[in-house]
Amino acid sequence: IEPMLAAFRERHEYVVRTLNRLPGVRCTESDGTFYSFPDFSEAISNLEGVNDDVELAEFLLQKAGVALVPGSAFGAPGYLRLSFATSMDVLESALGRLKRALSS
């Protein structure tokens, strides 16, 4: 179990650090979960034609090929949920595509 915990800790730290570098995104560390729950409110206000987290999730799915769950489904509009229960290679690729989509 120790190597598994270390792997998930590494993924968690990478995801939080990388999300906080994306334009208009703020992410705090989570505790004991396999997902992050970043605030995309500023990114939403900066993207023309994107008015809420549901529209942003659709935009990112279409533009970056990354599936995120809108926070409004959890009573947290403006947030999106991203799972890091995958490999570092997949996370690096997905977060790179998110960065390009949010920067364009």
pLDDT digits (tens, 9 = 90+) for 59-73: 999 999 999 999 999
pLDDT the model gives residue 68: 97
Question: Quick one: tokens of 95?
Answer: 């977060």
Strands (E), 44-104: 69-70, 80-83
DSSP structure class, residue 82 = E
pLDDT the model gives residue 54: 98
pLDDT digits (tens, 9 = 90+) for 3-54: 989 999 999 999 999 999 999 999 999 888 899 999 999 999 999 999 999 9
Tell which residue, 46, 47, 29, has the closest CA to residue 38.
29
Residue 89, burial from CB neighbour count under 10 angstroms (0-12, 13-18, 19+): exposed
